[in-house]
Amino acid sequence: MISKKGWILKDTYFELTIFAKESLIEFLADFIMNFTNEAVEIGKEKIILRTTQDTTALEEALKEFDCKIIKEEKENVDWIKAYQDSVTPIEAGKFYIHPSWHKPKENKINIIINPALAFGSGHHATTFTCLEAISKYVKENNTLLDVGCGSGILALAARKLGAVVDLCDTDPLAIESSKENFALNNESYRNIWVGSINKSKEKYDIVIANIIADVLVAISSELKAKFKEVLILSGILDTKEAKVQKAFEDLKLLKRMQKDEWVTLIFQKV
């Protein structure tokens, strides 16, 4: 998964590879992305940061955690463009997610996402299963809130099905990315804000939150209070699933979806 938040092209860049236990990866990725505005690649037991910035302070901060760090200086060959060129369209549920340099597909709902400009392009397992869930549960005129919207891809998919959508994210850059992607797809949202679900006074037919498991647990009360029909939770490593299930045990589990090591849970009121 690639997260692009900013890039200045120079002759060389630093590649920082952080190796850690799988259980720490989510936390460390969130920590690193709050520390720097550069790109992060997340694997099962490692995180790769590519940056032109000085990483000394980050390396010092990471020493507090149980991880191994390898730092290399590499020649800049415009890896973002190389990554762009490697991205292929993807079908998920009713949707065909493709970059602008690929043609749309007939008999599918087309969504344009340019990966180097976005936080999510449909290729990650959590986004993929969320798109499948949206295909099944979102109906025309439903009200929907996308919590932790990232690129806005999930709210965009719901909007393509005729839903009235609101979006929020604690990262201002994610909000800008979502706005750009809605404009790119000639679609409109109702409300969008920097922050989380607690800033909304409304209740929604559907709430979707594709964020890390610990955050889902932390805001579980707000999530449960704001949805009326369906709650879609994702971003859950299978090793963290039990913790999330316990936090939402007062709801009825409609469906469990798993792709690779990532789980999506769909709930309704009891």
DSSP string covering 5-23: ------SEEEEEEEEE-HH
Average pLDDT over residues 96-108: 90
User: Pick the residue with more confidence: 101 or 263?
Assistant: 263
pLDDT of residue 33: 76
Could you tell me how far CA 148 lies from the centroid of its own chain? 7
Residue type at 237 in one-letter notation: L
The yes-or-no verdict on residue 211 having pLDDT over 80 is yes
Superfamily of domain 124-268: Vaccinia Virus protein VP39 (3.40.50.150)
pLDDT of residue 267: 98
Among 57, 56, 59, smallest CA distance to 47 is for 59
User: Pick the residue with more confidence: 251 or 117?
Assistant: 251
Q: Where are the domains of the chain?
A: 2-81, 124-268
The yes-or-no verdict on residue 164 having pLDDT over 70 is yes
The yes-or-no verdict on residue 217 having pLDDT over 90 is yes
The yes-or-no verdict on residue 157 having pLDDT over 70 is yes
User: Pick the residue with more confidence: 190 or 78?
Assistant: 190
The token pair that represents 219 in the structure block:
């805001």
Residue type at 30 in one-letter notation: D
The yes-or-no verdict on residue 3 having pLDDT over 60 is no
pLDDT of residue 53: 81
Equal fold, 2-81 vs 124-268 = no
Could you tell me how far CA 81 lies from the centroid of its own chain? 21
User: Pick the residue with more confidence: 50 or 222?
Assistant: 222
User: Does the model's pTM come out above 0.85?
Assistant: no
CATH T-level topology, domain 2-81: Alpha-Beta Plaits (3.30.70)
Average pLDDT over residues 206-214: 95
Average pLDDT over residues 75-89: 69
